[in-house]
Amino acid sequence: MDWTATAGLLAGRVAIVTGASGGVGRGLARALALAGARVVVAARSPAGGQETVGLIEVDGGQALFVATDVCDASAVRRMVEATVRAFGGLDIVVHNAASTLARPTPLEDVDDAMWAEQAGVSLDALHHLAHAALPYLRDTGRGRFLVLSSAQGQHGGAMNPTYTALKAAQRGFVKALAREWGPHDIVVNALAPAALTDAARSYLEADPERTREAMKSFPLGRMGDMRDDIGPAAVAMCSDLWRYVTGQTVNVDGGYYTAL
Amino acid sequence: MMMASASQHRSLDGELALIIELGLPLMSGIAEGLGDAGAEVIALRDPRLAGSQDEVDAALATALGPDRSPALVVLSLLGEATTKLGPLSDTDLATWRAGAADPIRVAMRVLTALGARMRPAGRGAILFLAPSLSLVGGVGMVALSTALEGQRGLMKSIARQWGSSGVTLNWAAAAPRALSSLFEEADLAAKGDPVPIALGRRPDARTEIAALGAWLASPAGRGVTGATLMIDGGEWMVP
């Protein structure tokens, strides 16, 4: 990846990335920082969050870890306030955090605890983040609110109805909030990645035949690197380059979902 | 204007059709239309639908008895809170949960209860009926759009899970103002096209929306599942 293409696109911007202690969130946080943003890594895990901060600093960027449970409204509010204290404002919110319980589970086996945890991370967190961030995003005149959704919410993943429903719900959130926040020049979008996370890699590497079959679904023949494939798209969506795109779900997935 | 009646086809002769409704009433005319198509129609409007899985199962048993399985289910599960339209910034957490998340969980329980009857029967069509606004968003409708899109995603997932059993699930996205007066004053998205609605009118619930459900339950409609069917007279023409 030639990062000169995105260098400076987010200079002077301040971004929050939730769930950035690893996986897709870490990749996005690093990409935003490489594009010039100062990044708050909001996650529950101090070890993973600090590791992301360290990686950003090695890349020459500036970042701060703030321990945050996105299901806790007061914790989210404190995290946003800490962001503004540390970096002087807030321009970009990326809600990437996902539940660790989002495992394949047939409909009839979904219990209330499983639902509450996943709905908390996917939907309550959107409420908390939107409420806490709105005053700052409104002030900046270039606010961005980006939600990490999934193609499963579009094509209907068979094995995990809870995850599928919640990722689809986030698309409804984005479409409506884009209309509500448009007059404030706040752009609201969703990004549906196909990222080769550690979990995806472990799943695929356990069965080479499964990998061959799965990769047939990707015209580009591979899943995306979190920083180098997914990250630049997120940078563009958060930059002025995409300032006239709002209310959309953008699939960054190597051509996996092409049904629209 | 003369409209063809579903009774001309009577594709549901002798069949059981179940209407399930929780919250905002959207089903005006649907029961009559399904009756026109020959169905025995049972309407289930029971507050237990918002309760636990056991309560949902009990509500369904009250309506259908221990083992009847409908050939067609038309359902709307919006809940009460989704009828309170307002900006997200004015929506407290309890209202948000009741409006955005709970309708999805309710739909999961209702589908679980229906599946226990319909999958062993090896056939049946489930049709969610909803306002089309969630497909395009709307000011003051963040919770409602979130809930509806969540239910629509759920519908697709379960359509895949249950497809081999012969049970189909689909989504009818109808013009909001054809479904409820709630939307008369709502700030609905509009295109400003010189021809905003191709047919120039809203769909008729009895002769057109109900007929769509009847068709899906007929042999001709059994190959359609997981689909979003726009019944808005050609307003949005979504890709």
A179-205, pLDDT tens digit by residue?
999 999 999 999 999 999 887 888 888
Identify the domain containing residue A59 by its residue range.
7-252
pLDDT surpasses 70 at A161: yes
Q: What sign does the CA torsion over B225, B227, B231, B233 have?
A: negative
Percent of chain A's residues with pLDDT above 90: 85
A163 is a catalytic site residue: yes
Interstrand relation of B228-231 and A249-252 (parallel, antiparallel or unpaired): unpaired
- Give me the pLDDT at residue B185, please: 82
Residues 6+ apart with CB under 8 A from B220: none
Domain membership flag for residue B57: yes
Confidence label for A69 from pLDDT (cuts 50, 70 and 90)? very high
Domain membership flag for residue A2: no
Domain membership flag for residue B237: no
Domain membership flag for residue A69: yes
Domain membership flag for residue B1: no
CB B91 within 8 A of CB B142: yes
Domain membership flag for residue A34: yes
For B83, counting Cβ atoms within 10 Å of its Cβ (0-12 exposed, 13-18 middle, 19+ buried), the class is middle
Task: Name the maximum alpha-carbon separation found in chain A.
Answer: 52
For the segment A72-86, what is each residue's pLDDT rounded down to a tens digit? Answer: 999 999 999 999 999
Please report the residues numbered 29 through 48 in chain B whose beta carbons come closer than 8 angstroms to any beta carbon of chain A.
Answer: none
Please report the residues numbered 50 through 109 in chain B whose beta carbons come closer than 8 angstroms to any beta carbon of chain A.
Answer: 87-89, 91, 93, 96-97, 100-101, 104-105, 107-108
Is B100–A110 a contact, with Cβ atoms under 8 angstroms apart?
Answer: no
- Give me the pLDDT at residue B6, please: 46
Q: Residue A188's beta-bridge partner residues? A: A145
Domain membership flag for residue B143: yes
- Give me the pLDDT at residue A144, please: 98
Domain membership flag for residue B207: yes
Selection from B128, B131, B127 nearest residue B144 by Cα: B131
Question: CA-to-CA distance for A126 and A148, rounded, in angstroms?
Answer: 11
CB B128 within 8 A of CB B171: yes
- Give me the pLDDT at residue A191, please: 98
Comparing alpha-carbon positions, the chain A residue that sits nearest to B150 is A169
* CATH code for the domain of B69: 3.40.50.720
Q: What sign does the CA torsion over B212, B123, A157, A176 have?
A: positive
Domain membership flag for residue B72: yes
Q: How far is A85 from chain B (nearest CA, A)?
A: 23
Domain count, chain A: 1
A153 touches chain B (CB under 8 A): yes
- Give me the pLDDT at residue B2, please: 44
Please report the residues numbered 12 through 51 in chain A whose beta carbons come closer than 8 angstroms to any beta carbon of chain B.
Answer: none
Question: CA-to-CA distance for A226 and A28, rounded, in angstroms?
Answer: 7
Residues 6+ apart with CB under 8 A from B164: none
Domain count, chain B: 1
Identify the domain containing residue B62 by its residue range.
6-231
Domain membership flag for residue A260: no
- Give me the pLDDT at residue B238, please: 84
A210 touches chain B (CB under 8 A): no
CB A141 within 8 A of CB A185: yes
Question: CA-to-CA distance for A131 and A181, rounded, in angstroms?
Answer: 12
> Which residues in B lie closer than 8 A to residue A169 (C-beta atoms)?
100-101, 104, 146-147, 149-150, 153
Of B146, B153, B189, the CB nearest to A164: B153
pTM of the complete model beyond 0.90: yes
Q: Residue B130's beta-bridge partner residues? A: B173
Q: Which residues, given as ranges, of chain B have pLDDT below 50?
A: 1-2, 6-7
Interstrand relation of A38-43 and A62-67 (parallel, antiparallel or unpaired): parallel
- Give me the pLDDT at residue B9, please: 75
- Give me the pLDDT at residue B225, please: 98
For the segment A105-125, what is each residue's pLDDT rounded down to a tens digit? Answer: 999 999 999 999 999 999 999
Domain membership flag for residue A1: no
For the segment A11-41, what is each residue's pLDDT rounded down to a tens digit? Answer: 999 999 999 999 999 999 999 999 999 999 9
A63 touches chain B (CB under 8 A): no
Is A180–B142 a contact, with Cβ atoms under 8 angstroms apart?
Answer: yes
Selection from B105, B108, B84 nearest residue B96 by Cα: B84
Q: How far is B140 from chain A (nearest CA, A)?
A: 7
Domain membership flag for residue B128: yes
B142 touches chain A (CB under 8 A): yes
A215 dihedral zone (left: phi>0; alpha: psi -120 to 50; beta): alpha
pLDDT surpasses 60 at A9: yes
- Give me the pLDDT at residue B82, please: 72
CB A66 within 8 A of CB A90: no
* CATH code for the domain of A194: 3.40.50.720
